[in-house]
Every structure is written in C-alpha cells, then in structure tokens.
C-alpha cells in the first residue's frame, strides 16, 4: 500500500468520525502508537504490513474500500464500536498475525500464478506471430 491520497485520507477520517472512533482508541486497542495511526491517516507514512492489516481488520474495512470507496467487505460487529483486536504482544495477536501472513502469501501466490499464466499466453501469442512473420522475412 502506498501513502494514502488526500481522497483516501478523507474517506478514512469520515469513516472514523461517523463512528466516533478516535486515533487514540485505535492506538490503544491495537497497542500501536497514536502517531503511527495519525501518520497513516494524514498520509505522512506508508502503511506497513501487519500493522496495516490489524488496523483495517479492526475497522472492518478492505484495502479496495480505502482505495476506491467500493466493496467495504466487512463491517464491525456493532456500527458504533469497532472489532476488538488483541494487543500485538498477545498469543491471539501472534496467531492472527500468522494467519494474516499466510493469507497474504496465498493472495500473492494466486496473483503470481495469474501473472505467470498471462505471461505464458503472451509468450505463445508472440511465438505464433513470429512464426507467421518468419517466412515473410526470408523472402
């Protein structure tokens, strides 16, 4: 994920404001610093890996929703209170981090597999085109 654009920052800020969720509450519940959350929300720093996953899961929002405003995917259990995510130093958080890492790896594998299939098709098309052009070049 790149740094948040002004539009993405505004989308997140509105989301938090309508649910009365403060960056301090998020920071406390996720055992992150308020400045980390603030830097994400203001676009000062690029969101990183597990912390970003915890942040999004806590709020019940998808990466796509942040980027486009479409497909929120899940919502918190109660519209006025976000999901409670275990503190990162707990066993539950470690298990969740591992699950998220495997999910991320699975997603990356699927994307890589799709990209390789696309490259293979392109290679086949290129070879077909070159085979058709070769006789013309010999003339």
Token reading at 51: 């912390």
* Most confident of the ranges 26-40, 47-61, 96-110, 122-136: 122-136
d(CA 24, CA 7): 22
Would you state the pLDDT for residue 133?
92
- The pTM of this model reads 0.50
DSSP letters spanning 9-50: HHHHHHHHHHTT--HHHHHHHHT--HHHHHHHHHTSS---HH
Taking only the tens place, the pLDDT of each residue in 56-84 is 888 888 888 888 888 665 544 344 444 45
Who wins on pLDDT, 127 or 41?
Answer: 127
Radius of gyration of the CA atoms of the chain, in A: 22
Strand partners, 78: 81
Structure tokens at 68: 């486009």
Domain ranges of the chain: 1-87, 90-139
């Amino acid at each position: 994920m790149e740094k948040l654009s002004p539009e993405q920052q505004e989308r997140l800020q509105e989301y938090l404001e309508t649910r009365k969720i403060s960056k301090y509450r998020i920071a406390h519940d996720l055992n992150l610093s308020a400045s980390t959350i603030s830097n994400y929300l203001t676009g000062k720093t690029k969101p990183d890996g597990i912390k970003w996953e915890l942040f999004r899961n806590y709020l019940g929002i998808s990466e796509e929703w942040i980027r486009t405003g479409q497909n929120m995917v899940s919502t918190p259990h109660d519209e006025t209170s976000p999901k409670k995510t275990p503190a990162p130093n707990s066993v539950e958080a470690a298990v969740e981090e591992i699950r998220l890492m495997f999910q991320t790896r699975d997603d990356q594998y699927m994307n890589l597999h799709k990209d390789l299939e696309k490259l293979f098709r392109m290679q086949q098309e290129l070879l077909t085109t070159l085979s058709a052009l070769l006789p013309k070049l010999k003339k």
